[in-house]
């Protein structure tokens, strides 16, 4: 037991007053003479003993009553934690978790509404003059300033749900930072009102501040069934007009209830494209295939959705992409050994691919930037400027296809290969070797062959390059020769792809050019070229958004396709010509957003709510209590959800269990005992 005002204990010296009165009774007794007092001696002795006992009991009652009053004025208390408030001023940081999981219903309604009500109760438990700071899941700047009690209550009432769900360690760090911005002599407390989801409550990452006391107030929801769309992805990269698409949709059941024949719908540009039904058991995941065809060019705004209640924010998944018209392919060839005519004939009058070629001594740099795929055909001359441009082209997402010629010296080509992080060429072997195997699982050959034959009739090539090191170590093998060497490999650099043929494209290898394998190999290299599109983003992610075009921007703005809200937008250049989109205000709702340059739509962005909030695992009170008992959380106190009278509990946690009322009652009881003894003891 401790005392808030221990100097009042000096008043215990007043106990000497009744003691003095008891021992120095100045009342004079009158002597009465009687003829024979022999029979009265026993009565006198007996009365004297009873009188002395009565006086002693009265004295004890008075002493205990006075002692109890002294203790009451000394404000005794029992500390319930290691910190008791004595500061004249206090600042209280209250975190109200307003993420989507707090929309769940508890015994007393929505968890968010319960959290807001408890925050007001916390404020009411503090005296006038206390400063309050609100902290929410979206770290809204308007909530991070000191407020008085009236301002605090008003702003708490205006809090709404947010799509953001930060880690608990980040919330705690932000709360410590906000509390530290006030005067150092002011005492600081932190209250965390949350449902404490396990996937965001990273207690192991919290670095506790011993100077700040923290209270945890868990809010519990009832069990809620939830069926949601986890994610979506395409079978193959690259979106092309006329292409048959397979969109994979992963659906999760976060409850024990089984679902039967739930419809899943795909709409593109507000038109229904595909629909399918699923049945899924409790606590399971399933992957659904949706099939459709890209029939038009331009931006495609896709939405996959299902119907499920009461949790609805994860029922939809948004994604978007650009279906391009003609792809630009560029050939850079050696005039002395021109193999570009074979490619020119292949792409002649093609509806999807536009092909142009230039000799290696007359390359236009602007054509490189406007191309999706570049073919280097039997080249022997590479300027340093061309090497740098080709390297930047690949890093920014382009596709480079290299047909090495039969040369006596590969020094200049090796400079390019080194820049592209590929193996260099040592020499040229004139032997004739057949192609023995192709990788049917590679993106170039998916859906090309109905049957995968190990002993297929593949062409032979006359002459191939010998590498200084095995190319396989720096890329994946697409075709291999019968002698174990690589005929075609692919490797990645930045956002782009490099294909390296081990042989030239020439009359000597006409056997390969006229073979059926030639057309799908080269054609798919172009179709799958260009910057890989990002189909969707998460609202709570800080992943950078890159513009697909490096063209100059004049008047940029971003518009919510559904609400038509506009966002202030700018760009900054990063890396080699890359432009990153900068939104001054982050989107708060899922959906499609269109980027306009003036009146022209140049790109789309699709945002989805984080699926972290769909997790239904929460820390129970017992688990939190065990965590608080560890050495890292000595300054943390759990206020269980079952505790009633929050204001009184907080007073006890802040100031200890107050005992002055008990001692007042004890003093009154002993005073009543004294009066009873005097009144009824005859």
CA angle 627, 656, 207 (to 5 degrees): 30
Please say if the pLDDT value at position 108 is more than 60: yes
Question: Count of CB atoms within 10 A of residue 396's CB?
Answer: 19
CA distance 602 to 546: 12
Band of residue 674 on the pLDDT scale cut at 50, 70, 90: confident
| Mean pLDDT of the region 255-267 | 93
**Which pLDDT score, from 0 to 100, does residue 657 have?**
66
**Which pLDDT score, from 0 to 100, does residue 352 have?**
78
CA distance 203 to 200: 9
CB neighbour list of residue 476: distance below 8 Å, 6 or more residues apart: 439, 442, 489, 490, 491
C-alpha neighbours within 13 Å on the C-beta side of residue 87: 18
Please say if the pLDDT value at position 168 is more than 80: yes
**Which pLDDT score, from 0 to 100, does residue 288 have?**
94
Band of residue 15 on the pLDDT scale cut at 50, 70, 90: confident
* Per-residue pLDDT tens over the stretch 587-611: 889 999 999 988 888 899 999 998 8
**Which pLDDT score, from 0 to 100, does residue 644 have?**
52
What are the structural domains, with CATH classification, of the chain?
2-79+660-680 (no CATH), 90-223+616-655 (3.40.50.410), 227-324 (2.60.40.10), 327-527 (3.40.50.880), 541-606 (2.60.40)
Reduce the DSSP state of residue 509 to 3 states and report it.
Answer: helix
**Which pLDDT score, from 0 to 100, does residue 390 have?**
93
Check: CB of residue 167 under 8 Å from CB of residue 200: yes
**Which pLDDT score, from 0 to 100, does residue 448 have?**
75
**Which pLDDT score, from 0 to 100, does residue 401 have?**
96
Bridge partners, residue 567, by sequence: 558
CA distance 528 to 373: 9
> What's the chain's average pLDDT?
84
Residue 7 backbone phi and psi in degrees, to 5: -65, -20
DSSP type of residue 606:
E
**Which pLDDT score, from 0 to 100, does residue 651 have?**
60
DSSP 8-50: GGGGGGGGHHHHHHHH---PPPPP---S--GGGHHHHHHHHHH
Please say if the pLDDT value at position 85 is more than 80: no
Place of tokens 């890396």: 575
- Cβ-based burial of 564 (10 A; exposed 0-12, middle 13-18, buried ≥19): exposed
Please say if the pLDDT value at position 635 is more than 50: yes
**Which pLDDT score, from 0 to 100, does residue 43 have?**
56
Question: Count of CB atoms within 10 A of residue 27's CB?
Answer: 4
Going by their DSSP bridges, the two strands 187-194 and 213-218 should be labelled as parallel
Place of tokens 């930060």: 166
The mean-pLDDT minimum among 174-178, 347-351, 550-554 falls in 550-554
Band of residue 309 on the pLDDT scale cut at 50, 70, 90: confident
Q: Is 373 left (phi over 0), alpha (psi -120 to 50) or beta?
A: beta
Radius of gyration of the chain (CA): 42
pTM of the predicted model over 0.85: no
**Which pLDDT score, from 0 to 100, does residue 230 have?**
93
Please say if the pLDDT value at position 46 is more than 60: no
Going by their DSSP bridges, the two strands 556-560 and 591-597 should be labelled as antiparallel
**Which pLDDT score, from 0 to 100, does residue 281 have?**
94
Please say if the pLDDT value at position 446 is more than 80: no
Going by their DSSP bridges, the two strands 259-268 and 298-305 should be labelled as antiparallel
Identify which has the larger pLDDT, 180 or 508.
Answer: 508
CA distance 410 to 424: 8
C-alpha neighbours within 13 Å on the C-beta side of residue 358: 14
55-60, Cβ contacts within 8 angstroms, sequence gap of 24 or more:
55/22, 57/677, 58/674, 58/677, 58/678, 59/18, 59/19, 59/22
The angle, 0 to 180 degrees and rounded to 10, between the axes of the packed helices 660-680 and 41-73 is: 160
CA angle 351, 352, 354 (to 5 degrees): 90
CA distance 404 to 377: 7
Please say if the pLDDT value at position 433 is more than 60: yes
CA distance 501 to 403: 5
10-24, 101-115, 403-417, 436-450: which is most confident: 403-417
């Amino acid at each position: 037991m401790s005392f808030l005002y221990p100097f009042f204990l000096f008043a215990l010296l007043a106990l000497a007053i009744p003691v003095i009165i008891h021992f120095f009774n100045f009342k004079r007794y009158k002597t009465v003479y009687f003829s024979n007092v022999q029979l009265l001696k026993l009565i006198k002795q007996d009365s004297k003993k009873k009188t002395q006992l009565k006086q002693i009991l009265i004295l004890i009652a008075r002493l205990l009553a006075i002692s109890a009053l002294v203790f009451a004025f000394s404000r005794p208390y029992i500390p319930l934690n290691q910190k008791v408030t004595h500061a004249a001023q206090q600042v209280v940081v209250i975190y109200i978790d307003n993420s989507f999981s707090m929309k769940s219903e508890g015994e007393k309604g929505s968890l968010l509404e319960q959290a807001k009500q408890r925050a007001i109760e916390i404020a009411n438990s503090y005296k006038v003059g206390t400063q309050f700071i609100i902290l929410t899941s979206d770290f809204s700047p308007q909530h991070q300033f000191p407020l008085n009690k009236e301002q605090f209550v008003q702003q708490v009432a205006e809090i709404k749900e947010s799509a953001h769900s930060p880690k608990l360690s980040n919330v705690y760090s932000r709360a410590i930072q906000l509390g530290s911005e006030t005067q150092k002599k002011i005492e600081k407390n932190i209250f965390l009102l949350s449902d404490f989801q396990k996937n965001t409550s990273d207690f192991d990452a919290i670095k506790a501040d011993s100077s700040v006391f923290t209270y945890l107030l868990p809010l519990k929801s009832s069990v809620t069934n939830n069926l949601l769309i986890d994610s979506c992805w395409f079978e193959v990269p690259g979106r092309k007009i006329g292409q048959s698409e397979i969109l994979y949709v992963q659906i999760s059941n976060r409850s024990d209830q089984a679902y039967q024949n739930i419809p899943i719908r795909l709409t593109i540009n507000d038109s229904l494209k595909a629909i399918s039904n699923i049945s899924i058991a409790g606590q399971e995941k399933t992957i659904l295939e949706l099939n459709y065809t890209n029939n038009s060019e331009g931006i495609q705004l896709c939405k996959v959705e299902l119907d499920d209640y009461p949790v609805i924010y994860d029922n939809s998944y948004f994604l978007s992409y650009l279906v391009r018209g003609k792809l630009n392919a560029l050939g850079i060839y050696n005039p002395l050994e021109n193999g570009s005519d074979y490619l020119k004939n292949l792409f002649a009058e093609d509806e999807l691919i536009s092909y142009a070629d230039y000799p290696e001594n007359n390359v236009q740099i602007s054509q490189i930037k406007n191309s999706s795929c570049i073919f280097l055909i039997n080249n022997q001359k590479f300027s340093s400027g061309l090497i740098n441009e080709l390297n930047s082209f690949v890093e920014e997402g382009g596709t480079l296809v290299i047909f090495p010629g039969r040369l006596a010296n590969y020094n200049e080509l090796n400079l390019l290969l080194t820049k592209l992080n590929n193996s260099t060429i040592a020499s040229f072997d004139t032997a004739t070797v057949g192609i023995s195997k192709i990788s049917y699982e590679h993106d170039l050959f998916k859906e090309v062959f109905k049957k995968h034959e190990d002993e297929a009739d593949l062409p032979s090539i006359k002459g191939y390059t010998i590498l200084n090191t095995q190319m396989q170590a720096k890329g994946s093998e697409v075709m291999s020769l019968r002698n174990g060497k690589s005929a075609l490999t692919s490797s990645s650099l930045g956002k782009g792809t490099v294909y390296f043929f081990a042989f030239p494209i020439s009359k000597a290898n006409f056997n390969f050019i006229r073979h059926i394998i030639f057309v799908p190999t080269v054609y798919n290299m172009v179709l799958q070229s260009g910057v890989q599109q990002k189909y969707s983003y998460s609202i709570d992610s800080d992943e950078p958004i890159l513009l697909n075009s490096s063209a100059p921007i004049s008047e940029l703005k971003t518009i919510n396709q559904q609400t038509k809200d506009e966002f202030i937008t700018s760009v900054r250049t990063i890396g080699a010509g890359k432009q990153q989109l900068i939104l001054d205000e982050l989107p708060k709702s899922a959906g499609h957003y269109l980027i306009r340059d003036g009146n022209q739509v140049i790109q789309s962005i699709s945002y989805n709510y984080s699926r972290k909030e769909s997790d239904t695992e929460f820390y129970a009170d017992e688990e939190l209590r065990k965590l608080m008992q560890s050495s890292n959380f000595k300054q943390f106190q759990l206020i269980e959800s079952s505790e009633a009278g929050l204001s009184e509990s907080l007073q006890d946690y802040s100031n200890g269990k107050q005992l002055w009322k008990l001692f007042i009652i004890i003093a009154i009881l002993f005073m009543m005992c004294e009066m009873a003894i005097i009144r009824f003891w005859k």
